[in-house]
């Protein structure tokens, strides 16, 4: 089972879209996958148009059994959802011993509860937080979506710095499995410049870009993923390519 966090401390770089799209590509190919929403914005539930009885807060703070917190949003695609209550989770966790391991402990039985599960994808919030640390203590890999602007590129450096810190403090190594350029628009110079700068600095870690595509917003307004939205679209093609690079 692969455990991958999607993280960038910069907001709006396509983290949630990437998690949702790759999870659905995986599920459609017959893989069992779990998506965990570590962001109090609750965008995963909104994106799939699903609700839960027990959220990640109930799992982490109240110790509800994992099986009672899972929702099957699509065939083979399970979710641990969040909403604004997750914000209070930080203040509770901070008082607890080994607070950075709460998620790891809560998910320890995931392979018994979801037999045959092949991937766990974590959608992180755009901030340095205890839940963000929990994500890194749990996963082995990190996927880093970067939108095509200079501030998002600064965020890449911050993520690498934070990984070094996690390695030092928690003796946990997390491998960056890809830097994913998002919102790429080849008509715009800054897109080409940022992509070139990323490739120069990070070489083969930089994946093929996901192009800007209004179909993503249209799909999400219907609570659909780009996989089920129908028709051909750039984003569908691009995420399929990323899925194949990462998982096939
Ligand atoms: N390739 C794309 N083309 C056009 N719009 C996109 C693309 N990717 C994502 N979007 C849209 O951009 C917005 C931000 O994307 P998303 O929510 O995935 O970012 P995020 O990094 O998860 O944001 P946050 O930091 O707030 O969690 C959303 O409205 C989404 O539908
Ligand atoms: Mg998000």
CATH number at residue 225: 3.40.50.300
Domain that holds residue 130: 2-247
Q: Kindly report the backbone phi and psi dihedral angles of residue 226, in degrees, each rounded to the nearest multiple of 5, phi listed first.
A: -65, -20
For 136-183, the DSSP string reads HHH-SEEEEEEESSHHHHHHHHHHHHHHHHHHHHH----EEEEEEEES
Whose CA is closest to 120, among 102, 134, 138?
138
How far is 159 from 165, CA to CA, in rounded Å?
10
- In this predicted structure, what is the pLDDT of residue 128? 86
The CB of 210 under 6 Å from ligand 1? The reply is yes
Q: Which ligand is the nearest neighbour of the Cα of 211?
A: 1
DSSP 203: G
- In this predicted structure, what is the pLDDT of residue 123? 98
Q: 3-class DSSP state for residue 217? A: helix
pTM above 0.95, yes or no: yes
Note the pLDDT tens digit of each residue in 67-110.
999 999 999 999 999 999 999 999 999 999 999 999 999 999 99
For the chain, the domain total comes to 1
| High-pLDDT (> 90) share of the chain, % | 97
Burial category of 1 from C-beta neighbours within 10 Å (exposed 0-12, middle 13-18, buried 19 and up):
middle
Note the pLDDT tens digit of each residue in 112-131.
999 999 999 999 999 989 99
The CB of 134 under 6 Å from ligand 1? The reply is no
Segments of the chain scoring below 50 in pLDDT: none
- In this predicted structure, what is the pLDDT of residue 232? 85
How far is 228 from 27, CA to CA, in rounded Å?
12
The CB of 182 under 6 Å from ligand 1? The reply is yes
- In this predicted structure, what is the pLDDT of residue 184? 98
The CB of 39 under 6 Å from ligand 1? The reply is yes
Question: Are 180 and 145 in contact, with CB atoms under 8 Å apart?
Answer: yes
Ramachandran assignment for 79, one of left (phi > 0), alpha (psi -120 to 50 degrees), beta (any other): beta
- In this predicted structure, what is the pLDDT of residue 231? 76
Cα(165) to centroid(ligand 2), Å? 23
């Amino acid at each position: 089972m692969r455990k991958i966090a999607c993280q960038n401390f910069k907001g709006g770089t396509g983290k949630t879209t990437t998690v949702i799209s790759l999870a659905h590509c995986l599920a459609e190919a017959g893989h069992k996958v779990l998506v965990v929403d570590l962001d109090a914005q609750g965008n995963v539930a909104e994106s799939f148009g699903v609700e839960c009885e027990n959220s990640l807060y109930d799992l982490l703070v109240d110790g509800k059994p994992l099986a009672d917190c899972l929702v099957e949003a699509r065939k083979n695609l399970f979710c641990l959802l969040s909403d604004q209550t997750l914000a209070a989770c930080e203040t509770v966790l901070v008082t607890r011993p080994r607070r950075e391991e709460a998620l790891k402990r809560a998910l320890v039985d995931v392979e018994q509860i979801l037999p045959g599960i092949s991937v766990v994808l974590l959608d992180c919030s755009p901030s340095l937080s205890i839940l963000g640390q929990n994500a890194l203590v749990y996963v082995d890999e990190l996927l880093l979506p970067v939108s095509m602007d200079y501030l998002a590129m600064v965020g890449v450096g911050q993520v690498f710095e934070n990984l070094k810190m996690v390695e030092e403090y928690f003796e946990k190594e997390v491998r960056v499995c890809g830097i994913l350029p998002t919102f790429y628009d080849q008509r715009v110079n800054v897109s080409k410049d940022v992509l070139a700068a990323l490739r120069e600095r990070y070489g083969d870690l930089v994946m093929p870009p996901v192009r800007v595509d209004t179909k993503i917003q249209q799909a999400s307004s219907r609570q659909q993923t780009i996989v089920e939205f129908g028709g051909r679209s750039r984003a569908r093609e691009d995420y399929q390519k990323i899925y194949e690079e990462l998982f096939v």
